[in-house]
Copies of this chain bind each other. A is one copy, B any other.
């Protein structure tokens, strides 16, 4: 059972709209090594887990899997913000307030690169596809049922995800994009450390191989800041009932040999949700004309029903 809070894992820094960067970031969302894949892979490995004595490994998978849902939320929101309003780059800037006025073609930008579906299928929002527009597929999910193999695969998966994000960082200077890319680079490294540490528990010694690729990412300023906070060596359980035993695996010296010690916490504080995106009439989104809006507002003005349910929690169950 899962819960949600209206807080974002990391701040999405404002910058100009940038549909090309948005399209590139789709790889990190719906790509073969993106967040939807890590999320689903770890959750399926958790659901199908075997071996009652190996519970700390199961809980580790559950915790990372739950964090990945929040990563999906973070990167999807970043993409939506990057696409939103990008048509204003086009045509007469004075027509911004009134797209399509005077016989213009307000969405013509959609024809000149990136993913045309951002404007045509969605209304300037994120899509469950990669940077080539290919949809995410369940074929990506790997669960062999063999624990050492799963850990090996997961380590490779996190390393590849981070490799791609480092390349993404070198593809765009947009601050909105980079703020999220940098956060995911550091968290991917934390997860790489998690699986590497789990394999150490099975006897492997990594010596100087990790991290892959080597963290020359520290020359990226946004990354450097997060590394200084030690986020690459911290694991979150996102376990509301605190039953997770992941901390039994994720402890001791970091397998990346960066001198840090691994530690486990329940969850980061995060940042408040950004406001809800404005309407885009040229996209017919959300598509509420004044009459419908009036109906909606009538609904919204009704008093919210008092909820008698106690705050969920160990005490309240």
Contacts and interface: CB of A to CB of B under 8 A. Distances in A.
A234 to B, nearest CB: 10
Contacts of A239: 3-6
Contact of A2 (B3, B47, B248, B265): B3
Interface string A149-191: 1001101100110011011101111000000000000000000
A293 interface: yes
Nearest to A310: B266
A259 interface: no
Given A138-B30, A171-B110, A212-B152, A2 B48 contact: no
Given A145-B284, A287-B147, A119 B171 contact: yes
Interface string A272-308: 0001111110111111110111011111101011011
A168 to B, nearest CB: 7
A267 B3 contact: yes
Contacts of A141: 127-128
B70 A2 contact: yes
Interface in A128-149: 128-129, 131-139, 141, 143-149
Interface in A15-54: 20-21, 23-24, 27, 30-32, 36, 40, 43-44, 47-54
Contact of A50 (B106, B214, B280, B302): B280
A253 interface: no
Interface residues of A, number: 168
Nearest to A299: B201
A163 B149 contact: yes
Given A143-B122, A300-B53, A171 B279 contact: no
A165 to B, nearest CB: 10
Query: How many copies of the polypeptide does the oligomer hold?
Result: 6
Contacts of A108: 170-173
A183 to B, nearest CB: 13
A167 B284 contact: yes
A134 to B, nearest CB: 7
A113 interface: yes
B113 A241 contact: no
Contact of A309 (B113, B267, B277): B267
25 contacts: A2-B66, A2-B73, A4-B239, A24-B110, A24-B116, A27-B116, A44-B126, A47-B80, A48-B123, A48-B125, A51-B279, A51-B288, A52-B275, A56-B300, A58-B276, A112-B113, A136-B138, A146-B163, A146-B213, A147-B288, A152-B155, A167-B282, A204-B205, A242-B311, A267-B309
Which 9 A-B residue pairings sit nearest by Cβ, starting from the closest?
A123-B145, A48-B125, A128-B138, A135-B138, A145-B285, A203-B207, A146-B287, A136-B138, A147-B286
